[in-house]
Chains A and B, each alone.
Chain A
Amino acid sequence: MEGKGMVDFDAIRAEFPILDQSVYGHPLVYLDSAATAQKPQCVIDAEADFYRHDNAAVHRGAHELAARSTVAFERARASMARLVGACADEGGEEIVVTGGATAGLNLLATAFGNASLGRGGSAAARFALHPGDEIVVSKAEHHSVLLPFQELAARTGATLKWLDLDEEGRIRSDMADEVITERTRVVAVTHVANVTGAITNLAPIVRRAHAVGALVVLDACQSVPHLKVDVHALDVDFAVWSAHKMYGPTGVGFLYGRRELLEALPPANFGGSMVELAWMDRPAQYMAPPAKFEAGTQPVAQVVAAGAAAEWMMAIGMDAIATHEHEVAAELLKLGDVDGVSILGPCENRDRIGTVAFDVDGVHPHDVGQFIDAQGIAIRVGHHCAQPVHRHFGVYASNRASSGVYNSVADAQALVEAVSKVRAFFRV
């Protein structure tokens, strides 16, 4: 692991122009990176520079700009592949551009649905779901995982099952052998839960899923920005994440799929740039992945900027980022020591990231958030698109602080101090 002293995190923070501002007279403390991360200057520049110098349609046209933008687009794909340990070789690409993690999950659910209707032929039979088959998720899932697979189950007659949570809100990996059965075809689970910040113990889930021939879909939205992720080492079949949570632009995300699976999976979106031969009276012949899944004009400038974000993260080092945020997490967890405050999720700084959801007894999250905001500190309040996990804790909503690479221990201390004043202000 790289030594912490090697990286100057104050200098890294200074690369984010948006953080250099006051809110209500206080220096901005941004602790809402699980919702969306801020962007370093190099990412902002990458997008602007692309439009200033290279912009053209990719993978078509023979002019100089078309060539440059195609190279930039494919180079960004390769950067993203390296960030998560996927294959970046030409012809062996395992990274598909999507409109975001939600779009990636819907792409998969739609493609599995198409396979269930017989599309993609016998090669795609492994993705098909039939009545009696099972899809397994967890109770910690973001609605973006739960709903596309709940809908897929409804469309195919499959049954939706789920892994429960323990008292701390961790996914019960020990239930994998019981919940994942011979009828299970798909297991969709989060790598890091967006409310509790808990890192899922994936190994028992992946092992069991593969033992019964099920595919594993990983929601990596909250892990890729904060941890070293190696999709091959994790042995998952598919993974999705969004660029905007990893210091890149909005409107773009990525889908990892094992190459052989991407080759067998039928497409979900149809149109230009994904077809080799199209006829009026014969079935079309689709391109090889990743193009097969990238119908229509892609968000090229955003992909290029996302690639710059990936390179920027790798230059800092994912181990160094994880170590730094681990220290911020330790400070955030001191929220649990504040009178009347309870943490929804693991209280110990182990197998978790710096995403800490908490409840202030007697004060609604919306009021907590307003009070915290008045101190110039941005946190998220509400159900964070994960209602079932809140029901697990018996609450409607919560407050959530989430770290990014630019946060300091002092940021976390400022939050803890502000939270310690909340109950007095609201006279509870």
Chain B
Amino acid sequence: MDFGMSGDDLEQMYQEVILEASRNPHGRERFAPDLASEQSAQAGESVVRASHEYCAAGESHQFNPTCGDEATIHAEVSDGGDGRPHTIERLVWDGHGCSISQASLSIMVDLVEGKTVDEAMRLAGLFHQLMDSRGAGLSDESAEEDLGDAVVFQGVSKYPMRIKCALLGWEGMKASVAEALARMQ
């Protein structure tokens, strides 16, 4: 196919990994109100409940006003009562959006579920750096390795209008984990 000069950029942005992840995203469950429905309740009104007694749950509703993308991210964090570090025991989300936001949520779930909170926040920081790289990627190869499949979003970082799509899920993860931790206090 001929997409002119931008064809390569477009192919680089929409890598197969992204298209595949957006079609069958991981961690997506139905629990938040459907805002495309006229009967919908208020955004972010789902009941926040942890599935394990040793966990606290947090939820964050993220919204991208330019395109209407939104996601509610639900995180459950272990309370550290056994002397082990706080860990993200469960991470699910509900929402809708473009292939970039959906794929980013999916790949993020694969990457941070089961990780300690500290590790998840470190990965979020690396992903943020990748998104700020204007297409250049990270200079640190081991950091890129740590990001796993999430490095496929390097092509997205060239497009300022789309960076927010890729970051939507990560912002929600950080906020929901912070809320879960705050509930333990």
Residues of chain A touching chain B, judged by Cβ–Cβ distance below 8 Å, are 24-26, 363-367, 370-371, 374-376, 381-383, 387-388, 390-392, 394-397, 421, 424-428
Contacts and interface: CB of A to CB of B under 8 A. Distances in A.
B49 interface: no
A394 B159 contact: no
A383 B68 contact: yes
23 contacts: A24-B6, A25-B5, A25-B6, A364-B69, A364-B97, A364-B98, A364-B99, A365-B67, A366-B100, A367-B14, A370-B10, A370-B159, A374-B6, A382-B68, A383-B68, A387-B68, A390-B36, A391-B35, A392-B38, A395-B36, A396-B69, A396-B70, A427-B23
Contacts of A397: 67-68
A322 B2 CA distance: 35
> Which interface residue of A365, A376, A383, A396 has the most chain B CB atoms within 10 A?
A396
Nearest to A388: B38
Contacts of B9: 24, 374
Contacts of A394: 36-37
Nearest to B97: A364
B36 A374 contact: no
Interface in B142-158: none
Given A24-B5, A375-B4, A396-B96, A382 B37 contact: no
B100 A374 contact: no
Contacts of B125: none
A66 to B, nearest CB: 43
A376 B3 CA distance: 10
A374 B67 contact: no
A397 B35 CA distance: 11
B7 interface: yes
A428 B23 CA distance: 9
A374 B38 contact: no
Contacts of B19: 426-427
B35 A24 contact: no
B38 A382 contact: no
Contacts of B99: 363-364, 367, 426
A31 B68 CA distance: 21
A391 B37 CA distance: 6
A340 B96 CA distance: 19
A374 B14 contact: no
Given A374-B4, A374-B6, A426 B14 contact: yes
A24 B158 CA distance: 14
B1 A366 contact: no
Interface string B6-26: 110110011000010001000
Interface in B15-58: 19, 23, 35-38, 40
Given A363-B99, A370-B13, A396-B96, 6 more contacts: A366-B100, A374-B3, A375-B4, A382-B68, A383-B68, A425-B14
Please list the 10 inter-chain residue pairs (A to B) with the smallest Cβ-Cβ separation, ordered nearest first. Answer: A25-B5, A366-B98, A24-B6, A364-B98, A374-B6, A397-B68, A25-B4, A382-B67, A366-B67, A383-B68
B162 interface: yes
A396 B35 contact: yes
A335 to B, nearest CB: 20
Contacts of B66: 382
B112 interface: no
B159 A396 contact: no
B165 interface: yes
B1 A391 contact: no
B38 to A, nearest CB: 5
A80 B133 CA distance: 48
A379 B96 CA distance: 21
B67 A370 contact: no
A371 B10 contact: yes
B67 A381 contact: yes
A365 B64 CA distance: 13
A364 B104 CA distance: 15
B122 to A, nearest CB: 29
B12 to A, nearest CB: 11
Contacts of A395: 36
Contacts of A367: 14, 98-100
A424 B165 CA distance: 22
Contacts of B36: 390-391, 394-396
B1 A425 contact: yes
A373 to B, nearest CB: 8
A25 to B, nearest CB: 3
Contact of A374 (B7, B68, B98, B102): B7
Contacts of A424: 1
B132 to A, nearest CB: 20
Contacts of B70: 396
